[in-house]
Structure 1
């Protein structure tokens, strides 16, 4: 909000000088408001242009402010302030790097036999290390959990088995049936002496009842809301959300993926119907990186640090199942890790690029990479929901499809229900699964976490599930684009203009 106050103050000073120095014709209330709002918009546009943002983002904000000033000002104060300003997260970034360096040393260097990987895959692994600065593990076991039933049954079982600690971090956590089930386990475990730490996003989980949280707190569960905006909803902090879904149990078992906690993720919602999603169970060495990501978020919000060995000594697995790397991304990282990882995966493809995402709002580089891959004969497929959960991103996503289809990208609309999986699979051997959508918000603004998998059995399971999903999807045809109604084209174009702001 500081930037907004600065703009208003500057505008007020200019307006006062203009008003008292030259006078305002008629000095009517309407004229005063008009002059003041015009000065505010001009000041904002100047400041935005001086921030050297992405040109398309800059022009989108300027157009929005110029064409609809009142709406533009509201959107700016909610979502536009310091759009790429990471200074408020500098301390968090520094502490995170210190934590990673603690486990870096020899572990971060690949000294295992890489002969089973192609030259491209070896180069890609080295690049992912330099981007993420997190260890690559050869001693981790992963299991793909398809949809809510498998995910929550696994989660409940693992929570019941907890002996030492439970660390849980979610974007959305609801106080419905499944949420209450998990709450009761956390309460019981806390009473048994298990250390339970529970973090939820203040905006994503804004509907959690206070009494629900109070019951947990009174039982000994430690709670924290990430990025609280109670005192000032118009703070720029509201724009940077923690979209991560992390569970770490006893330092040796972890879960990450696309599912939040709520009954709709178990396909119990009449609005969404069947909910298609993907999560992953992780056991072994890579859980340590998940643990550190959680503990750094906890430290940032509470000031409490728990980097002791009791939290950082996972049980290692046999290590016969490829490579696993946990990758965190967010506004505190100037390397735009996941965006660059996705770009590198696409450009390294030799045979295929398969993408599943509920929102498709790529930047120019990702869009170009997909087009070039398709032009080069790569099998590029995008699996996208036929029905939306959010209309603006849905229309914005559709505006990108014609440019992809004209170069041979195949776009499938998932018909069985709502598709929420977030997967990128390259050549059937390299894949990433996690919390990040293929949109500008996930790649630039949100705190996200993904797992990179290379030649693991989980990649093959993801391929199998993707192929099965295609059986309940419809291939979008060029003819359908030609017969779109005028109002659909207008909405898509308008949403496309807003896409850098989404």
Structure 2
């Protein structure tokens, strides 16, 4: 019994030390700080282990400082294009948004792009495979999740064939998102001359995931959005049903930024130091004139660039803000921005899934939606399957599509990428898609919300308490 008390005392002291470290040494959002203190206090021993792997930031600072320096060195030429492109922007609101986006490296506002929108996985992958099969120079792929199912194996088969044909193939995949992949999954590709590299394979980096989805083909065609690689994204898993997501196919100057971002991440993960040869950045044909800005953020960023652009969109809205996100767990700045917009008469609508894909998410979503309902926003649950789309449309003039969820993890911890589109036609198309989705949604009214059970209220309270670290 004495040994038990000795061990318990040591664990309690360690928890106290980590709590003090958390409060005084870590520069965190206060709500996240108190969430960790609560976990350390209520779960002695277990809380210590959870904090070691998910909360400690010292390793992040050391590991990603080098990446930050390397990224800046290779992307500094982008900053020189700011003055060259801003004169093309006639709307002050958009000009200010673009300037905020330039804090991201690399980021460039470019005016000559063609944008195709995909909301169904079957159509997205059909077009993607067609583009890959036509590749002549290189194929660069970055996905958070690649599954060992018929879709993942088909992608592997096509990439392997292209590698045998002499096309340069590089695949970057997240070690956590692809943790169930067999170790020899990419062996056929590697045998054919292609390359596949894990991003952040160390278990100590489990908290910092590469959530980006990027494909670049011959430096001319790019893909970015929410779809990963697996049969559920085709709507073939009964527990999810139809998978509703949004993905973009880009042609034009914006592909260069996708290429830069891929190569920066590849160099970091592989230690290969791929040079920025001209063949990776060919001259682009002018196909259309859609203005696009690709913006990234992550643990290696000095600021929360994508979140800042979200805030700029919110504060600049005059008519409406339409949001789709699987996780509506915003920080205080975004929450207050949306409340202020609602009180100012802006039509704020938020759409979330009707079913969760992670524990606590449904309750956390519900809790924050309640706050928005009280401020006058309209909130909806998507009933047509699983909603994984991450889009924002403002006033039918500006839109964002990408990998970033409306939560603290995406803002602070994950490596994310979004395309910000400054084009009325494309933004209006995304608005129309949103309105069509509303037809298969259930509206959450304030009256319904107030009728929730005591059990649900307790679950929401717990979810809210730990939401800053979900």
Q: Using structure 1 for the length normalisation, give the TM-score.
A: 0.90
Within the alignment, does 1:395 sit opposite 2:355 as a pair?
A: no
Indicate if the aligned counterparts of 2:349 and 2:378 stay in contact, CA closer than 8 A. Answer: yes
Deviation, 1:258, is: 0.2
Q: Deviations over 1:189-245 (max 9, x none)?
A: 00000000011000100111123221221121101000002xxx3x2x111000000
Listed as ranges, the matches of 1:99-110 within 5 Å are: 99-106=74-81, 109-110=84-85
Q: Deviations over 1:72-119 (max 9, x none)?
A: 12321221111894332111111112222234424663255434xx33
Paired with 1:77 and 1:320, the residues of 2 have a C-alpha distance of: 49
| SS of structure 2 residue aligned to 1:272 | coil
| SS of structure 2 residue aligned to 1:212 | coil
> Could you tell me which residue of structure 2 aligns to residue 122 of structure 1?
95
2:45 to 48, 64, 70: 70
> Could you tell me which residue of structure 1 aligns to residue 174 of structure 2?
201
Indicate if the aligned counterparts of 2:106 and 2:260 stay in contact, CA closer than 8 A. Answer: no
Paired with 2:29 and 2:346, the residues of 1 have a C-alpha distance of: 29
| SS of structure 2 residue aligned to 1:109 | helix
> Could you tell me which residue of structure 2 aligns to residue 29 of structure 1?
3
**Structure 2 unmatched runs, 5+:** none
Within the alignment, does 1:278 sit opposite 2:269 as a pair?
A: no
Indicate if the aligned counterparts of 1:384 and 1:412 stay in contact, CA closer than 8 A. Answer: yes
Within the alignment, does 1:291 sit opposite 2:259 as a pair?
A: yes
1:409 to 365, 377, 381: 377
Paired with 2:294 and 2:76, the residues of 1 have a C-alpha distance of: 15
Paired with 2:68 and 2:357, the residues of 1 have a C-alpha distance of: 33
Within the alignment, does 1:168 sit opposite 2:136 as a pair?
A: no
Indicate if the aligned counterparts of 2:257 and 2:294 stay in contact, CA closer than 8 A. Answer: yes
Paired with 1:60 and 1:241, the residues of 2 have a C-alpha distance of: 21
Paired with 1:57 and 1:120, the residues of 2 have a C-alpha distance of: 32
> Could you tell me which residue of structure 1 aligns to residue 411 of structure 2?
443
| SS of structure 1 residue aligned to 2:172 | strand
Paired with 2:215 and 2:106, the residues of 1 have a C-alpha distance of: 21
In structure 2, the CA distance between the partners of 1:403 and 1:103, relative to structure 1 (3 Å rule), is closer
In structure 2, the CA distance between the partners of 1:456 and 1:158, relative to structure 1 (3 Å rule), is farther
2:390 to 412, 417, 422: 422
> Could you tell me which residue of structure 2 aligns to residue 17 of structure 1?
none
Listed as ranges, the matches of 1:9-408 within 5 Å are: 28-50=2-24, 51-82=26-57, 85-106=60-81, 109-110=84-85, 112-115=87-90, 118-131=91-104, 134-229=107-202, 233=203, 235=204, 237-304=205-272, 305-321=274-290, 323-408=291-376
In structure 2, the CA distance between the partners of 1:83 and 1:148, relative to structure 1 (3 Å rule), is farther
Indicate if the aligned counterparts of 2:327 and 2:407 stay in contact, CA closer than 8 A. Answer: yes
Paired with 1:195 and 1:129, the residues of 2 have a C-alpha distance of: 30
Within the alignment, does 1:482 sit opposite 2:450 as a pair?
A: yes
Indicate if the aligned counterparts of 1:170 and 1:200 stay in contact, CA closer than 8 A. Answer: yes
Indicate if the aligned counterparts of 1:387 and 1:418 stay in contact, CA closer than 8 A. Answer: yes
Deviation, 1:144, is: 0.7
Paired with 1:127 and 1:171, the residues of 2 have a C-alpha distance of: 26
Indicate if the aligned counterparts of 2:71 and 2:105 stay in contact, CA closer than 8 A. Answer: no
| SS of structure 2 residue aligned to 1:331 | coil
User: Once structures 1 and 2 are overlaid, which stretch shifts more, 372-381 or 202-211?
Assistant: 202-211
**Structure 1 unmatched runs, 5+:** 1-26
Deviation, 1:498, is: 0.6
Paired with 1:43 and 1:472, the residues of 2 have a C-alpha distance of: 51
Deviation, 1:350, is: 0.8
RMSD across aligned positions (CA): 1.6
Indicate if the aligned counterparts of 2:364 and 2:463 stay in contact, CA closer than 8 A. Answer: yes
Deviation, 1:319, is: 4.7
In structure 2, the CA distance between the partners of 1:453 and 1:84, relative to structure 1 (3 Å rule), is farther
> Could you tell me which residue of structure 2 aligns to residue 9 of structure 1?
none
Paired with 1:125 and 1:314, the residues of 2 have a C-alpha distance of: 23
> Could you tell me which residue of structure 2 aligns to residue 13 of structure 1?
none
Aligned length: 468
| SS of structure 2 residue aligned to 1:167 | strand
Paired with 2:373 and 2:122, the residues of 1 have a C-alpha distance of: 35
1:494 to 455, 462, 470: 462
Q: Deviations over 1:244-296 (max 9, x none)?
A: 00000000100000000000000000111111011000111110010000000
Indicate if the aligned counterparts of 2:360 and 2:463 stay in contact, CA closer than 8 A. Answer: yes
Indicate if the aligned counterparts of 2:144 and 2:211 stay in contact, CA closer than 8 A. Answer: yes
Deviation, 1:131, is: 5.0
Q: Using structure 2 for the length normalisation, give the TM-score.
A: 0.96
Paired with 2:327 and 2:348, the residues of 1 have a C-alpha distance of: 17
In structure 2, the CA distance between the partners of 1:193 and 1:133, relative to structure 1 (3 Å rule), is closer
> Could you tell me which residue of structure 1 aligns to residue 421 of structure 2?
453
| SS of structure 1 residue aligned to 2:139 | strand
